[in-house]
């Protein structure tokens, strides 16, 4: 499939390797018509990306990916076309950013107790100006030679319920959906396959969920078809993207490998007007 719009991208504003400007330039070089900047719990990369887009190419969809939890499951909610100047949204994100710093401190202490000698300063170096996340911790572990790759760090140590995992403040999905919609955005369930519980969809819809991520590198062709059918049966818009974090980071390595084709992106934009 020829991807026209990659609607799931991370930058250095959260845990990506490329700056918003670099992402825009890369997207332009690949001939993408549109990209969505969906950094984790922050809108800090959106303005830079918008300012970098020349002659409105590629189109920049202002977005976000909010981490939530329900029934001991981590659920990510994507927001599209949000007003990234909304005061209530900014207030919530400040709280979430503060929780990330606290979590990083606790993670470093926990890893130290397990014999992994990294310090908070090393994690913050990888984070740069962004709030620290698990990916930054993973990079510090790889840099020290404790693990061969970021993927291994998550699989063996930092992933949900793994030995180095530390809880942090998380929204409930209903609250994330409400905040996105109150900020004028559209709310979609990110990579639903990873939750392992499709039955949650009905509950999320009751709280105002409007879309479903159908294209994602962690979903195979059969699962893509399954979620496309789920979206159709529940009258949800479809979205998708590479979940790009940067070259060589996990399976989602290549910008533009996943996303919507021209017709699907046209439908996505039209749905925005119908659902607002």
Show the tokens assigned to 164: 């180095």
The answer to whether residue 258 sits within a structural domain is yes
Single out the residue in 107, 130, 158 at which a domain terminates. 158
Q: pLDDT confidence of 199, banded at 50, 70, 90?
A: very high
* Residue located via tokens 């992933």: 159
- What CA–CA distances, in Å, run from 156 to 159, 160, 173, 195, 248? 7, 10, 27, 19, 18
Predicted local confidence at residue 54, as pLDDT = 85
SS3 content of the chain, % helix, strand, coil (to 5): 45, 15, 40
Tell me what the mean pLDDT of segment 216-245 comes to: 96
Mean pLDDT of the chain: 93
Name which of 138-142, 235-239, 243-247 the model is least confident about: 243-247
Q: Based on the fold, state whether residues 102 and 16 are members of the same structural domain.
A: no
Q: Please, are residues 174 and 126 in contact by the beta-carbon 8 Å criterion?
A: no
The answer to whether residue 37 sits within a structural domain is yes
Q: What angle do CA 276, 211, 167 make, to 5 degrees?
A: 110
Q: pLDDT confidence of 56, banded at 50, 70, 90?
A: confident
pLDDT at 250 over 60: no
Q: Based on the fold, state whether residues 18 and 103 are members of the same structural domain.
A: no
Q: Based on the fold, state whether residues 262 and 183 are members of the same structural domain.
A: yes
Predicted local confidence at residue 170, as pLDDT = 79
Q: Based on the fold, state whether residues 237 and 261 are members of the same structural domain.
A: yes
**Proportion of the chain above pLDDT 70, given as a percent:** 97
Domain coverage including residue 201: 5-86+171-275
Question: 132: domain CATH number?
Answer: 1.10.150.650
Q: Tens of pLDDT along 25-50?
A: 999 999 999 999 999 999 999 999 99
The answer to whether residue 211 sits within a structural domain is yes
The answer to whether residue 34 sits within a structural domain is yes
- In angstroms, the CA 120 to CA 136 distance is 10
Q: Based on the fold, state whether residues 143 and 61 are members of the same structural domain.
A: no
Question: 251: domain CATH number?
Answer: 3.20.20.140
Q: Based on the fold, state whether residues 74 and 126 are members of the same structural domain.
A: no
Per the structure, the count of domains in the chain is: 2
Non-local CB neighbours of 273 within 8 Å, separated by 6+ positions: none
Phi, psi torsion values for 271, nearest 5 degrees:
-60, -35
- The runs of H, that is alpha helices, within the chain are 20-29, 46-52, 87-113, 120-127, 134-143, 150-153, 173-182, 200-206, 221-233, 262-275
């Amino acid at each position: 499939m020829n991807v026209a719009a990659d609607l799931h991208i991370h930058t250095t504003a959260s845990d990506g390797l490329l700056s918003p400007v670099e992402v825009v330039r890369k997207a332009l070089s690949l001939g993408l018509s549109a990209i969505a900047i969906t950094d984790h719990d922050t809108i800090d990369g959106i303005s830079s990306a918008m300012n970098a887009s020349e002659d409105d190419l590629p189109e920049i969809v202002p977005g976000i990916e909010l981490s939530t939890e329900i029934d001991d499951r981590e659920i990510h909610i994507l927001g599209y076309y949000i007003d990234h100047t909304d005061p209530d949204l900014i207030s919530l994100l400040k709280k979430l950013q503060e929780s990330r710093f606290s979590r990083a401190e606790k993670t470093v202490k926990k890893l130290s107790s397990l014999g992994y000698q990294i310090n908070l300063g090393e994690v913050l170096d990888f984070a740069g100006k962004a709030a620290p996340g698990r990916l930054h911790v993973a990079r510090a572990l790889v840099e020290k030679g404790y693990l061969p790759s970021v993927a291994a760090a998550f699989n063996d140590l930092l992933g949900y319920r793994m030995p180095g995992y530390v809880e942090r403040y998380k929204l409930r999905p209903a609250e994330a959906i409400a905040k996105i919609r109150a900020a004028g955005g559209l709310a979609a369930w990110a990579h639903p396959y990873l939750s392992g519980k499709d039955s949650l969809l009905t509950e999320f819809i009751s709280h105002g969920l409007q879309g479903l991520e159908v294209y994602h590198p962690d979903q195979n062709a059969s699962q893509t078809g399954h979620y496309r059918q789920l979206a159709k049966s529940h009258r949800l818009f479809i979205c998708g993207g590479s979940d790009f974090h940067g070259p060589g980071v996990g399976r989602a390595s290549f910008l533009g490998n996943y996303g919507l084709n021209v017709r699907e992106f046209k439908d996505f934009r039209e749905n925005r007007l119908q659902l607002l």
